[in-house]
Amino acid sequence: MTASVISAGPIPRSGSAAQGAIELRQVSKNYGDVIAVDQLDLTVRPGEFVTLLGPSGSGKTTTMMMVAGFEEHTAGSVLIDGTPVDSLPPRERNLGVVFQNYALFPHMSALENVEFALRMRKVPRAERRQRAADALDRVGLGKMGGRKPRQLSGGQQQRVALARALVFNPAALLLDEPMAALDKRLREQMQEEIKALQKSLGISVLFVTHDQDEAMAMSDRIVVMRDGKIIQSGPPEEVYNHPLTDWVASFLGDTNLIPCTIVERNGEEAVVDLGGLGLARVRDRGADGVNYAVSIRPEHLKFSTQAAAGNGCAATLLSSTNLGATVRHRLTAGGHELQLRELSSARGAGSGPDEDLWVGWDEDRAQLLVLES
Ligand SMILES: Nc1ncnc2c1ncn2[C@@H]1O[C@H](COP(=O)(O)OP(=O)(O)OP(=O)(O)O)[C@@H](O)[C@H]1O
Ligand SMILES: [Mg+2]
C-alpha cells in the first residue's frame, strides 16, 4: 500500500446531514434529432460508488450534467435524497462536481479557488478561509495554498478541483473523467486516494470513465451505457464475469466468444452445444435473444490433461506471446480459435510443442450471452 496523501480527518459539517442518494427516473435528453440519453433509470444509494462506463458518445457526460443541473432534461425527473431537484439551480443541489476540464480560475491561488465555492454560498470570510485550508490539507496540498494553478502540476490542479468540490460538504460527488489529464501512475494513485476519501467521508459518488480498468478498480457498481441507454449494471466482478451480451463482454476486456445453440435452460444454468467443443454446462443470466454464444475470458481457459478435461477438448497451439507478467497463447480447439492467458510463472502445458495439448475451463467461468452483433 502506498501512503495516502489524502487524509481521513473530519471536515467540519455545515447544514443538514449529507445522505447523497441520487435517483434518475425515466430521464431523457434530446439535442434536436440526437437522443443523447434515453429514458434512463438509475439509482445511487447513500455512500455508494457508481460508475458510468461506456464508449464515447454514449451519454455519460450528458447524464452527469442533468444531475448537476447544468443541462435541462427533455423528460423524466432527477431526485436527490428523495426530493425532485428538476427546478433547482446547480448551486442548490448540494453536489460537488469535478469535470474533466476542471477549470480552476488562473488568477486565483489554490486556496482562493477552493474558497470561491464557499463565497458563492455566502459562508463568512473567517470560516471559509479555515474550511478551504482544511480541504486543501485533506488532498495533500496544505502547503501549496498560495500557488496559482500554473505553478501546480496536473495532478496537483486535479487535487485543488477535488478540494473545491468537497469543501462545502456536498451530499454526493459527481466526477466526470477527473483523471483523464493525468499519466498512468498518477492516475492509479489518485484512484486509490479518491476511493479512500470516499470511504472515509461515506459520501456517494457518481463517476464517469471510459477506462474499464478504472471502473473495475473503483466502483461498487458499474453501469454500462451505450447509445444513451443502460445495457447492464452490477458489481464489477459480476459485470466482468457475467456479461449479458457479446458487446458488454468485449467492451470490458478480451474474451473468447464461442457461438452455441441452447440444449436446455434451467434457471442459473444452461446446457449448450458448442459445436466442435461439444456439450457444456454454463452460467445463464436469462438474457433473451436470437443468437447465442458462450463467453470465456482468456485467463479462465487453462491447459489441462485429457483425463482432467471436463469442459474442453484437444487443442493445437498456434503461437505464444510473452507480455511480461502474462503469456498470451493462441490456439485452436474444436474448430474455434481461442486465446488463453496465464501467468508467465505458470509455464503449464503449452510449453512443449509436441505435447498432447488439451484446453479446459471451470463451468462457472463460462457465461451464456446474447450475440448482438
Ligand atoms: N450540446 C450538444 N448538442 C448536440 N449534441 C450533443 C451535445 N452534447 C452532447 N451531444 C451528443 O449527445 C451524445 C452523448 O454525448 P455525451 O457527451 O454525453 O457522451 P459521453 O458518453 O460523455 O462521451 P465521451 O466519452 O466522449 O465524453 C453524443 O452523440 C453527442 O454528440
Ligand atoms: Mg463525456
Give domain 22-239's CATH architecture.
Answer: 3-Layer(aba) Sandwich (3.40)
Exposure string (b/e) for 114-132, b if CB count within 10 Å is 16 or more?
bbbbbeeeebeeeebbebb
Q: Rounded to two decimals, what is the model's pTM?
A: 0.87
Interval 149-176: pLDDT, tens: 999 988 889 889 999 999 988 989 999 9
d(CA 73, CA 80) in angstroms, rounded, equals 15
| Chain-centre distance for alpha carbon 346 | 30
Residue 186: what pLDDT?
82
Calculate how far, in angstroms, residue 227's C-alpha sits from the geometric centre of ligand 1.
10
Domain edges within the chain: 22-239, 253-370
Q: How far is the CA of 208 from the centre of ligand 2 (A)?
A: 8
Cell of 205: 459518488
Q: Is the CB of 56 under 6 A from ligand 1?
A: yes
- Measured from the CB, is residue 149 less than 6 Å from ligand 1? no
Q: Is the CB of 72 under 6 A from ligand 1?
A: no
pLDDT of residue 304: 80
Ligand 1 within 6 A of 256 CB?
Answer: no
Q: What is the pLDDT of residue 185?
A: 83
Q: Is residue 158 within 6 Å of ligand 1 at its C-beta?
A: no
Query: pLDDT digits over 215-241, tens only?
Result: 999 999 999 999 999 999 999 999 999
- Ligand 1 atom 16, closest CA: 59
> What's the burial of 82, exposed, middle or buried (CB within 10 Å: 0-12/13-18/19+)?
exposed
Q: Cβ contacts of residue 239 below 8 Å, gap of 6+? A: 222, 224, 232, 233, 248, 252
Q: Would you say the CATH fold of 253-370 matches that of 22-239? A: no
Residues of the chain with pLDDT below 70 are 1-18, 307-310, 347-355
pLDDT in tens, 29-38: 999 999 999 9
Residues in the 5 Å CB sphere of ion ligand 2: 61
pLDDT, position 65: 95
* Strand stretches in the chain, DSSP E: 22-31, 34-44, 49-53, 75-80, 83-84, 95-98, 172-176, 204-209, 221-226, 229-234, 256-266, 269-273, 279-284, 292-296, 302-304, 311-322, 326-333, 336-343, 358-361, 367-370
Q: How far apart are CA 314 and CA 303, in angstroms?
A: 10
Determine which residue's CA is closest to atom 8 belonging to ligand 1.
Answer: 62
For the beta sheet containing 326-333, the strands, ordered from the edge strand earlier in sequence to the opposite edge, are 302-304, 358-361, 311-322, 326-333, 336-343
CA separation (Å) from 121 to 64, 118, 130, 287? 22, 5, 15, 48
The matching CATH number, chosen from 3.40.50.1970, 3.90.1480.20, 2.40.50.100, 2.40.30.10, for 253-370 is 2.40.50.100
* Alpha helices (H) along the chain: 60-68, 110-119, 125-138, 154-166, 184-201, 212-218, 236-241, 246-251
Is the distance from the beta carbon of residue 31 to the nearest atom of ligand 1 less than 6 Å? yes
Query: Given this model, what pLDDT does residue 187 score?
Result: 85
The residue assigned the cell 487535487 is 159
pLDDT at 355: 63
Helix/strand/coil (H, E, C) string of 203-238?
CEEEEEECCHHHHHHHCCEEEEEECCEEEEEECHHH
